Amino acid sequence: MRKQYHFRRIDQQLYAWDVDRLIQLTQDLQPETIHLDEISEFDKTYWYSDEGDSPTCRSIAEHMKLVNEADLAYPILICPAGQLMDGMHRVVKAHLEGLTSIQAFRLAILPKPDYIDVDPDDLPYDEA
């Protein structure tokens, strides 16, 4: 699997969580079934950037490749407030397949970010 980070703006700072670490935090959790409409990003903008990034045909196509490769056997990951931290492509795939719910791990507390105000391009993306 490709190296991924979850990004979120909090108090004008860009926070980044290593998704591998987030997944490790779910090892003792039981997945729950949640309705797609309960996921806040399902009907609102998901992009973290303030730079006016807009989807292009190319970027949508690249995302659709990832959606097609997504495996619904793996639960998505949501924070205590119900915001998506990992699994956007699985949510899209579930919706495209006509599903109304998905399995999810819900973290009890929002963990500290791995990075604050680091340019996403400067993060390590090498696969182990």
- Please state, in angstroms and rounded to a whole number, the distance separating the CA atoms of residues 42 and 95: 10
Phi-psi label, residue 44: left if phi above 0, alpha if psi -120 to 50, beta otherwise: beta
**Contact criterion met (CB below 8 Å) for 16 and 115:** yes
Question: What would the mean pLDDT of 32-57 be, rounded to a whole number?
Answer: 76
For 53-70, write each residue's pLDDT tens digit. Answer: 677 888 888 889 999 999
117 pLDDT tier (thresholds 50, 70, 90): very high
Percent above pLDDT 90 for the chain: 65
- Please state, in angstroms and rounded to a whole number, the distance separating the CA atoms of residues 26 and 29: 5
Total-model pTM? 0.84
Q: Spell out the domain ranges in the chain.
A: 5-45+56-116
Q: Which residues pair with 8 in a beta bridge?
A: 15
Topology annotation, domain 5-45+56-116: 3.90.1530
For residue 38, give Cα distances in angstroms to 11, 103, 109, 126. Answer: 24, 12, 18, 33
> What pLDDT does residue 56 have?
85
